[in-house]
Structure 1
Amino acid sequence: MIFSKAALSLICVLLVLSVFMANLLNIIAIDHNFYVENNDVGENYTKYLGKKYGQISDSTQNLIWFLQISDIHISIFRDSGRISQFQQFCDTTVKSIKPHIVLATGDLTDAKAKDNLGSSQVKKEWIYYYNIIKESGVTQYTTWLDIRGNHDNFNIRSINAQENYFKNYSIQGSSHSKSYVHIVEQNGVNMALIGVDACPDPGLRRPFNFIGILDIQEQQTLQKLKNEAESKADHIIWFGHYPTSCILSLEKDSQRLNVRELIGSASGSQVYVCGHLHSMGGLVKQMYTKHKKGYLELELGDWKDNRMFRLAAIDHGLFSFIDQKHNTWPIVLVTNPKHARFILPGREPLQLIKDSTHIRILAFSDVKIESVKISFDKISWMKCKETDGPLYVCHWLPHLFKTGLHNVYVVATDEVGKEKALQHPFSLDGTVMSFGIMSRIMLMLDAAVVFQTIFGTLLMVNVLPLVVLRLQKRPPRHFRRCGWRMLKSLWLLSKIDKIFYPIVLYAIYVPFGPWVIGELIDGYIGTIFAWGILIKGTYLPEPFTYTYGSVQLLFVQIPLLLVLANCLDNRLFGQGLRGYKRLIKNLPFTFLLSIQLLLAYFFWLEYGTISFLFGPLRTWSIVLSILLWYKTLTLSPEHCRYLIKLNDLPS
């Protein structure tokens, strides 16, 4: 059977898509079993924890809890509620919950100019952050562990530069300029918290500060911190600003530390908590996953717009958490039995749940908790007994729930009548609940690879169709109904050397040549390429440049091809167009030119006049577009007659 070209093309596309989907599903798969793959290590570790903690009963021992807040974005230019409500968080929330630790995982300040485009450190924002924490007095009874985010690193020449206010106006900055470890021994629990600072050095102004970079020195530091944590603690909590999908490790002598491998290599590692992605603007509100190494990664929604924070606990070696909106009381966290979605075989003593005697619940409010009750069927309710502190317990018979997935319903009420109802799924036989597909994609893929793939695809879309059409001797015969005329116009456009070669050469230039030469940091000239940035004699492999280039290709270069094809069609076959009709036909180019001018203007606001003048990607492409448009409209009569003859050829 002889296949047509269209059928063969479709088969090739389907094969490429199937390979892509297979690789994608393999990367984000969580149907792995860390415990089976690491049976000896995992079994020995969980047995050790089981012997250490013993039976889970109504005792308040072997329990520790902490808070996380991320992406505070304190700003003196917008949304004063961030500051006032952050003050409430310190004055009321932290004091009501009394956590052993508070983690502040980056973007402590906004560092954006009043126009929302320029970016630089604002000392007054840092003073607000520091004074609120100190004046609230929370550091007198809890340990505040903060770390930098990309906004805290905007426009910073070096880690020791004067404008790096994190050193003087954060809680940990004076002691730990970058990554560090903090050991906690409290209430029978030994826990290490490792802060991962992946901020690039130097720190560029936005937008080229989206991806975190671990240089060789920082990789070695993290390895030492991990070794120290393993030797001193049973549980390791990793925290940082960037998700692991947004952290790039530099390579030296063919060696590179993979941050996911590092976290997973420690037997005590249970979770990596982070921020940065802002729950994708609320589109992925619960961005959680379990990595192939058997630990959790939990991105926390931002404080900036959503006022979110996280309560987490380790109870007899079991890690639990709940994300909560500010000023919403009561707060309820079930620590035993553990939530079925977040069980960690080989990393926590799950066997203790089956032999436990009590359900254990942490309940907090800004006033006294009046009652906590539970039910397995929403019909018969049992009142929990209050112990010392916020722990509420209720006797249960776990053997009644040996198999399958079950739910325990919790209702907590405080003395002013505020009520919190919670449905908590659990399983004792290892039955698991799935994680959302978007959560897995956002946290398990490599952002750098995604950016490069999108850029490469758009680059091919920009060039390959035009090259293929140029090689075709006769007019295309596909898409006769909807796209035939545009396709034919593109085919004719590809035959014009003065149009074809500039477009192809520009597309070849984009992945290799410099895009911008300008003041990327105050006082320092740098050069931006697709593959990275050169500044201060340093090479920064910032993959976000590919996204910047993708915007140019998607919203400028590809539309330019269509606009030029439309102009050519009008030039050849629209001789009768006069007056307003001719004006309307030129509106697409006017709109495209407006987009280009707007993009160039934004870049001028972000990086200044030098980058605007020496900007082949943004500014110079405007000149190229105008020239190509002008050449299309002013084709010589001889050239027009030649193209019309080509158009009349049979398909």
Structure 2
Amino acid sequence: MILSKTAIGLLCVLLLFSIFMASLLNLIATDHNFYTEANNEGINYTKSLGNKYGAISDSTENIVWFLQISDIHISIFRDPGRISQFQQFCDNTVRRINPALVLATGDLTDAKAKDNLGSSQVKTEWVYYHNIIKESGVTDDTIWLDIRGNHDNFNVGTLHSQENYFRNYSVQGIVHAKSYVYYLDKNGVRVAFLGVDACPEPGLRRPFNFIGLLDEEEQETIKNLKLEAETKADHIVWFGHYPTSCILSMEKDSQRLDLRKLIGSSHGSQAYVCGHLHSMGGLVPKMYTKQQRGYLELELGDWKDNRMFRLAAIDHGHFSFVDQKHNTWPLLLVTNPKHAKYVMPGREPLHLVPESTHVRILAFSDVSVTNVQISFDKISWMKCRHTEGPLYACQWLPDLFKTGLHTLYVKATDELDKEAFIEHPFSLDGTLLNFEIFPRILLMLDAGVVFQAIFGTLLLVNVIPLVVLRLQRYPPKYHRRLPYRLWHHVLRRVWLLSKIDRIFYPIVLYAIYIPIGPWAIGELIDGYIGVVFAWGIVIKGTLLPEPFTYMYGSVQMMFVQIPLIFVLAYCLENRLFVYNLRGLKLLLRNFPFIFLLSIQLLLAYFFWLEYGTMAFLFGPLRTWSIALTVLLWYKTMTLPPDYCRKLIKLNELPS
């Protein structure tokens, strides 16, 4: 049986889609058995940890806890609550929880202009950040580890430039300009907190500052810090602003540092905690995954809009965490048994859990906690004994839960009768819970590759159909069914448009220019002229391979260049088949063109606010495309009568 062209095309599409989905699922797989891959090393490491910590009982030893806060975005222009509630966090929350340290993972200040488009460092915002920490006295009893985010790097020419206020107004910037490590040795637990500063140098104004960049020097620094941490600590907690999916390493000797591989190469690495993505505007509130090397990557929701912070603990070598909204009490964290979703074989002494004698829970409130209870069936509740500090313990019989997945229910009450209730799944035989698909995609793929793929796809969509239609000798045939008939009607108009040289060649040539030529020339940093290309940005004699340019170009392709083809096809129909239009009718007929032109003007205006007059005037992507749109519309609407008659005859050819 001979297959039709449609069937063959459909099979090809399905084949390509299947290959794509198989590759995607392989990239975001979280069931990669790191422990089996490094079996001997994992056994030796976890056995050594188990021997060091001993049995898990109700002892208050061998446990430390810490906090994380991210994307504070202190601003003098918007939402004063960010500042006042951040002060509350330092004054009250940190004092009540009394962590060993606090991680502040970037975007400490907003650095955005009053119009919300321009971007530059605002000294007053840094002074607020500095004074709140200083006046609260939070650093008297707690270690504060802060690191830069992309907003803290807007319009910063060099690390030593005057605009780099992180040096003078942060806690760690005076000592550590970029990546660093801090060692915590407390209560029998030795942890290295390794901060990764991936802010590019120079730091451009927004939006070309979304992807982190590790240059050759920083790659070597991080490697050395990791080697040092392995010798001085039992556990490594990595922290930074950008997720690993948003960090690009520059090539050195035709090789690039694989940050995920570097983190995962040490059995002591338990987690990489970060911010930056703001939980995708709250759409992905639990953006967690286990990377294929076996460690956790945990993005924390922002303080900016959602007032989130994280409590994490290492208890007898087991890493646990919970994310909490500010001023929500009581706060509970189960540290034994370990949450089933977040177990890390080969990195934690998991064999201690089935041998443990007590369930262990950290409980905090802004007033005294009066009662903590647990249940394995929500019918019979057992009261936990308060040991010391925030630790509550309750005896249990692990042998009753040897196989399968089980749920521990915990509820706590404080003296103001505020209650907290959590469900905590666990297993003792290695039964795992799956991570959600969207967090895995956002944290496990390479954002730069995704941006390039989107840009390339839109570029092909802009060019190939137009070229194919131009090569087609006869017009697409009409279909009897209404939806298909409407589509083929549009397709026929685009086919006619592709036959007009003065329209076809400018559209195709401009589409070819976009991935090759410069998009804008302007003052990308105060005092420095730079050139923006699709494949990177040239400034100060340095090429910054900023992949977000592809996303910026994708916006142009999606909302301007591709719609332009259909708008011109619609205008061509008006020119060929609609007569004697005047006044309001003429205006309504040209509404699609006016709407498209308005979008372009708005995008160009935003670009002017972001990068100034020079970039606006020398901006082939945003500004000059307006002139191209107007020119093509004018040429379409003023086609000579002879040319119009020729096109009408083409339209009348049999399909």
What is the TM-score with the length of structure 2 in the denominator?
0.99
Mapping 1:433-472, distance limit 5 Å: 433-472=433-472
**Which residue number corresponds to residue 143 of structure 1?**
143
**Letter of the structure 1 residue corresponding to residue 355 of structure 2:** D
**Which residue number corresponds to residue 564 of structure 2?**
560
Distance 1:476 1:27 in 2: 40
Is residue 57–residue 358 contact of structure 2 (8 Å, CA) maintained in 1?
A: yes
Question: What runs of 5+ residues in structure 1 fail to find an aligned partner?
Answer: none
Q: Does 1:643 align with 2:647?
A: yes
Distance 1:576 1:484 in 2: 26
**Which residue number corresponds to residue 286 of structure 2?**
286
Find the residue that maps to 1:608 and give its secondary structure.
helix
**Which residue number corresponds to residue 185 of structure 2?**
185
- Candidates 504, 525, 534, aligned match of 1:521: 525
Mapping 1:176-215, distance limit 5 Å: 176-215=176-215
**Letter of the structure 1 residue corresponding to residue 70 of structure 2:** S
**Which residue number corresponds to residue 490 of structure 1?**
494
- Aligned-pair distance for 1:578? 4.3
**Which residue number corresponds to residue 512 of structure 1?**
516
Distance 1:4 1:424 in 2: 55
**Letter of the structure 1 residue corresponding to residue 270 of structure 2:** Q
Distance 2:169 2:316 in 1: 36
- Candidates 588, 594, 611, aligned match of 2:615: 611
Find the residue that maps to 1:104 and give its secondary structure.
strand
Find the residue that maps to 2:388 and give its secondary structure.
coil
**Which residue number corresponds to residue 391 of structure 1?**
391
**Which residue number corresponds to residue 334 of structure 1?**
334
**Letter of the structure 2 residue corresponding to residue 501 of structure 1:** Y
- Aligned-pair distance for 1:253? 1.1
**Letter of the structure 2 residue corresponding to residue 615 of structure 1:** G
**Which residue number corresponds to residue 533 of structure 1?**
537
**Which residue number corresponds to residue 273 of structure 1?**
273
**Which residue number corresponds to residue 549 of structure 1?**
553
Is residue 179–residue 195 contact of structure 2 (8 Å, CA) maintained in 1?
A: yes
- Candidates 572, 577, 581, aligned match of 1:573: 577
Structure 1 residues 429 and 478 mapped into 2: Cα distance closer, same or farther (>3 Å)? farther
Find the residue that maps to 2:304 and give its secondary structure.
helix
Distance 2:225 2:127 in 1: 30
Distance 1:229 1:211 in 2: 26
**Which residue number corresponds to residue 225 of structure 1?**
225
Is residue 339–residue 425 contact of structure 2 (8 Å, CA) maintained in 1?
A: yes
Q: Would you say how many aligned residue pairs link Structure 1 and Structure 2?
A: 651
**Letter of the structure 1 residue corresponding to residue 220 of structure 2:** Q
- Candidates 592, 601, 607, aligned match of 1:588: 592
Distance 1:49 1:525 in 2: 54
Distance 2:398 2:220 in 1: 45
- Aligned-pair distance for 1:153? 0.1
CA-to-partner distance for each residue in 1:266-298, whole Å, 9 max, x for gaps? Answer: 110000000000000000000000011000000
**Letter of the structure 2 residue corresponding to residue 369 of structure 1:** V
**Which residue number corresponds to residue 95 of structure 2?**
95
**Letter of the structure 2 residue corresponding to residue 183 of structure 1:** Y
Structure 1 residues 606 and 475 mapped into 2: Cα distance closer, same or farther (>3 Å)? same
Q: Does 1:153 align with 2:157?
A: no
**Which residue number corresponds to residue 415 of structure 1?**
415
Find the residue that maps to 1:483 and give its secondary structure.
helix
**Which residue number corresponds to residue 58 of structure 2?**
58
- Aligned-pair distance for 1:388? 1.2
Distance 2:552 2:423 in 1: 43
Find the residue that maps to 2:239 and give its secondary structure.
strand
Segment of structure 1 superposing worse, 547-556 or 16-25: 16-25
Q: CA RMSD in A?
A: 0.8
Distance 1:299 1:162 in 2: 31
Find the residue that maps to 1:639 and give its secondary structure.
helix
Distance 1:349 1:435 in 2: 22
Distance 1:208 1:30 in 2: 31
Is residue 193–residue 236 contact of structure 2 (8 Å, CA) maintained in 1?
A: yes
Is residue 109–residue 126 contact of structure 2 (8 Å, CA) maintained in 1?
A: yes
Find the residue that maps to 1:539 and give its secondary structure.
strand
Find the residue that maps to 1:116 and give its secondary structure.
coil
**Which residue number corresponds to residue 19 of structure 1?**
19
Runs (4+) of structure 1 exceeding 6 A deviation are: none
- Aligned-pair distance for 1:318? 0.3
**Letter of the structure 2 residue corresponding to residue 595 of structure 1:** I
**Letter of the structure 2 residue corresponding to residue 304 of structure 1:** K
Distance 2:543 2:428 in 1: 51
Q: Does 1:633 align with 2:637?
A: yes
Segment of structure 1 superposing worse, 372-381 or 64-73: 372-381
Find the residue that maps to 2:190 and give its secondary structure.
strand
Find the residue that maps to 2:370 and give its secondary structure.
strand
Distance 1:201 1:395 in 2: 54
Mapping 1:340-379, distance limit 5 Å: 340-379=340-379
- Aligned-pair distance for 1:423? 0.8
Find the residue that maps to 1:85 and give its secondary structure.
helix
**Letter of the structure 2 residue corresponding to residue 457 of structure 1:** T
Distance 2:464 2:60 in 1: 67
Distance 2:641 2:353 in 1: 85
Distance 2:594 2:541 in 1: 41
- Aligned-pair distance for 1:576? 4.8
**Letter of the structure 1 residue corresponding to residue 303 of structure 2:** W
Distance 2:457 2:32 in 1: 31
- Aligned-pair distance for 1:581? 2.6
- Aligned-pair distance for 1:478? 6.4
Find the residue that maps to 1:282 and give its secondary structure.
coil
- Candidates 483, 499, 512, aligned match of 2:503: 499
Find the residue that maps to 2:176 and give its secondary structure.
coil
Distance 1:136 1:360 in 2: 31
CA-to-partner distance for each residue in 1:459-511, whole Å, 9 max, x for gaps? Answer: 00000000000000000126642211110010000000000000000000000
Find the residue that maps to 1:421 and give its secondary structure.
strand
- Aligned-pair distance for 1:583? 1.9
Q: Does 1:113 align with 2:113?
A: yes
Is residue 478–residue 489 contact of structure 2 (8 Å, CA) maintained in 1?
A: no
Give the share of equivalent positions with the same residue, in percent. 74
Distance 1:71 1:95 in 2: 21
**Which residue number corresponds to residue 85 of structure 2?**
85
Distance 1:244 1:445 in 2: 9
Distance 1:229 1:45 in 2: 15
Distance 2:2 2:381 in 1: 72
Distance 1:107 1:165 in 2: 12
**Letter of the structure 2 residue corresponding to residue 590 of structure 1:** I
Q: Does 1:622 align with 2:632?
A: no
**Letter of the structure 2 residue corresponding to residue 82 of structure 1:** R
Q: Does 1:308 align with 2:312?
A: no
Distance 1:378 1:225 in 2: 47
Q: Does 1:128 align with 2:115?
A: no
Distance 2:559 2:553 in 1: 10
Distance 2:93 2:584 in 1: 64
- Aligned-pair distance for 1:579? 3.9
- Aligned-pair distance for 1:416? 1.0
- Candidates 593, 597, 600, aligned match of 2:601: 597
